[in-house]
Chains A and B, each alone.
Chain A
Amino acid sequence: MGAELRELRRRIRSTESMKKITKAQELIAASRIIKAQQLADAAKPYSQALVRALEAAASRSNLDHHLLEGVGTPRRSAVLVVTSDRGFAGAYSANVIRQAEALTALLREQGQEVRPYVVGKKGVNWFRFRAREMFGEYVDFTGNPTYAHARRIADDLLEAINTPTDEGGVDEIHVVSTHFKNMVSQEVRARRLFPIVVEDVPEPLRRAEVAGGAEAAGGTSADGPDQAPPPPKSNGRSEDETLPLYDFEPSAEEVLDALLPQYAGNLVYTTLLDAAASEWAARRRAMKAATDNAGELQENLTRQANAARQAEITQEISEIVGGADALASAGSE
């Protein structure tokens, strides 16, 4: 067998095994998307009840909580950047990092100091490679986050925001993460988690959409009409229903004090789940593209191998014919 043909056959075989690997990755990712979505659904009852309770508590206390009000001109911000631990997910992490950089530039323009808190090995390595200081690193769970992970992150962020700015604390907390819109489309979002913007006291204090929706840092998620309105509450109560006159134990302020950290934990948790679903979706898409490309490559190589084989046979035949001719002419003399 000719060297060219042997080489082509080897490449076909290795492409074949590569294709098997990417196909397997694609299938794994597809099943993990479902799992991440189920987790997100399971977390919903808690979020809903928590938001309701928070509305009630916020409407009754005098609202001078620093997580709700914030300071006039923030001087320092924490930015939570949610990337992935593993690659093989296309531009998933790169998109988040790009958006985070845009947000950082925007905040710096406003005269703020920015402190990154980074989730995921890809992001951590990116920051480390550029020798940038990180104030929190959280790795080894992005594909499958649990509440304990979210709690740890939220505790660190709360500690930063609870420290006075003069002593090294932060005034605002932003988060850059990927939102899972559907199987084919995910978008990177930059939002402000704290302080929560409360429009008016009886106004329902809806999730981050209202809290920091317009915070988009000139990226894909421009503010305005494409921001989906918050989903209507699914428990059948009308939106404008007045809240019951709750009795607070021990007091509205203390309940609010206890609820806000839980709310922070919940926000981080739902963000991580959303990002995990997006990560798997991005990975599935990247692996599907890789599988398709491997198939195409294999087809091309097979064609080349066939042509090489045919050329070899043709050459052999012409050699035999040529040899026979030579013998015949030698014998007739």
Chain B
Amino acid sequence: MAGELSVEVVAADRKVWSGSATIVVAKTTEGEIGIMPGHEPVLGLLVTGPVTVRTADGETVVAAVDRGFLSVSEDHVAVLAEVAQLADEIDVASVEEELAAAAEDQSTARWAQARLRVAGAR
């Protein structure tokens, strides 16, 4: 039965989003991966960037994640990241400031850019 996925997006200090979904799209170190109900168990490292969840009622939730991974088993998808923010939680102005301040620091800059992309796609 092609049911629904139960999805959790969890950051180190809080639960960012949870609910049921039809598909989850994320980018692992090997490339893009789309998870639909019935997917085999996977544990994958995510690159800094967006994770897209299409919810059961047809809406799209986009979150930016940094240093995260994805675990799928029995139609349960857990996206775990040290930091994760939903698109509408991102404050573009302050992230731009961060990006400008980051200059040399590549990982900070990458994280800022990822958040800007997610916020821009909103």
* B14 proximity list for chain A (CB < 8 A): 42-43
Closest-by-CB residue of B relative to A269 is B12
- Chain A residue with the shortest CB-CB distance to B15: A45
A-B contacts counted at CB < 8 A amount to: 87
Binds A, one of B74-82, B88-96, B98-106, B110-118: B74-82
Mask, A34-75, CB within 8 Å of B = 1, is 000001001101100110110011000000000000000000
Q: Contact: A245 with B80, CB < 8 Å?
A: no
CA distance A269 to B13 in the complex (A): 9
If the complex has contacts A151-B82, A250-B30, A258-B69, are A49 and B10 also in contact, measured as CB distance less than 8 A? Answer: yes
Q: Which residues of B contact A42 (CB under 8 A)?
A: 13-15
Max chain A C-beta neighbours (<10 A), residue from B12, B15, B30, B33: B12
**Could you tell me the distance in whole angstroms from the C-beta of B79 to the nearest C-beta in chain A?**
9
Chain B interface mostly: strand
Name B42's contact: one of A50, A52, A249 (CB within 8 Å). Answer: A249
Could you tell me if A53 and B80 are in contact, using CB atoms closer than 8 angstroms?
yes
Report the contact-size class of chain A (Cβ under 8 Å from the partner).
20 to 34
A331 contacts chain B at the CB level, 8 A cutoff: no
In the complex formed, the residue of A with least CB distance to B78 is A49
- The answer to whether the Cβ of A213 comes within 8 Å of any Cβ in the partner chain is no
- A42-B13, A42-B15 known; A249+B45 contact, CB < 8 A: yes
Asked whether A49 and B8 contact (CB < 8 A) given A42-B14, A250-B29, the answer is: yes
What chain A residues lie within 8 Å of B10 (beta carbons)? 45-46, 49
Residue of B nearest to A261 (CB): B67
Kindly list chain B residues whose C-beta atoms are within 8 Å of the C-beta of A46. 10-13, 80
Contact call A246/B43, Cβ cutoff below 8 A: yes
Contact in complex: A52, B82 (CB < 8 Å): no
Q: Is B71 an interface residue (CB 8 A)?
A: yes
Q: Is the CB of A266 within 8 A of B71?
A: no
Given the interface pairs A244-B41, A249-B45, A250-B29, the reply to whether A262 lies near B67 with Cβ below 8 Å is yes
Which residues of B are found within 8 Å of A43, using beta-carbon distances? 12-14
Q: Once the chains are docked, how many angstroms separate the CA of A97 from the CA of B82? A: 30
A259 to B10, CA, bound (A): 15
Which A residues contact B (CB, under 8 angstroms)? 39, 42-43, 45-46, 49-50, 52-53, 56-57, 146-147, 150-151, 244-250, 254-255, 258-259, 262, 265-266, 269
Contacts beyond the supplied A46-B12, A249-B28, A269-B12: 6 A-B pairs with Cβ under 8 Å: A45-B15, A56-B43, A147-B82, A246-B73, A248-B42, A248-B44
Q: Can you name 9 A-B pairs with beta carbons within 8 Å?
A: A39-B13, A49-B71, A56-B71, A146-B13, A247-B43, A249-B42, A249-B44, A255-B44, A269-B13
